[in-house]
Structure 1
Amino acid sequence: MSLPNDIETKIYVAGLPWITKTESLRNYFEQFGEIVYANVVCDKATKRSKGFGFITFKEAESANRACEDPNPTIDGRKTSCKLAYLGARVHNNQSNKNGLVSIFPYLINCLR
């Protein structure tokens, strides 16, 4: 079963160093294609990075190329990069059999 292209364009990047800002995340992933949106998730109170972020590409092919290396080094630290889509079923922060990770827990935390 393949996913629609508009869902596959987002990737989840975990293990970012605390110093990584949205701009440097965007700069790294621009090599794979046109970026629509980039964000390093930060704590609302402290404004400190939570160590993960999201990149949304204009084309699904770009997101797939970006995830060919599942552990890129960004700002001197080895990270984890996976395709993300709403509704993916994973447990204990592990990817499912397709290598996809759910952003659902993140969305629930944003609503709290």
Structure 2
Amino acid sequence: MNMHVSNLSFNVQDEDLRGLFTPYGEVVSAKIINDRATGRSRGFGFVEMSDDNAARKAIGELNDTSIDGRNIKVTEARPKEEGNSRGGNGGGGRYRDNNRW
């Protein structure tokens, strides 16, 4: 099961996140999401566990607990929506009128 962990302190690293969930079972992956421009944590991440029952137990016991001074939120991650990319046709914010730029 894949879980979304939010409201994380900016000091929490991938290893810290893995260590938090390891007592509940096998952690397949633990990843803090970083800002592309600054490289700084965005305050959330994802944890994947191999056993759904262990993941549910982790959600129940870790949700709303204080980690590094912040109450974290742990929920089951929703699947990524199809076609919800940030790409698009662009346009650069310019106004287009009567097929002229």
Residue 61 of structure 1: how far off its partner (Å): 0.9
Instruction: State which structure, 1 or 2, has the greater radius of gyration over its C-alpha atoms.
Output: 2
Q: Provide the aligned C-alpha RMSD in A.
A: 2.1
Residue pair 1:11, 1:83 contacting (<8 A) in 2 also: yes
Paired residue for 1:25, among 17, 31, 35? Answer: 17
Residue 45 of structure 1: how far off its partner (Å): 1.7
Q: Determine the structure 1 residue equivalent to 2:76.
A: 83
Q: Which amino acid aligns with 2:21?
A: F
Q: Which amino acid aligns with 1:13?
A: V
Superposition pairs of residues 1-112 of structure 1, within 5 angstroms:
9-69=1-61, 70-86=63-79, 103-104=80-81, 108=85
- Gapped runs of 5+ residues in structure 2? 89-101
TM superposition score normalised by structure 2: 0.75
Aligned partners of 1:108 and 1:10: how far apart in 2? 20
Q: Kindly, what percent of the aligned residue pairs are identical?
A: 31
Residue pair 1:11, 1:55 contacting (<8 A) in 2 also: yes
Return the structure number with greater relative CO, CA threshold 8 A, min gap 6: 2
Aligned partners of 1:41 and 1:13: how far apart in 2? 10
Count of matched residue pairs: 86
TM superposition score normalised by structure 1: 0.68
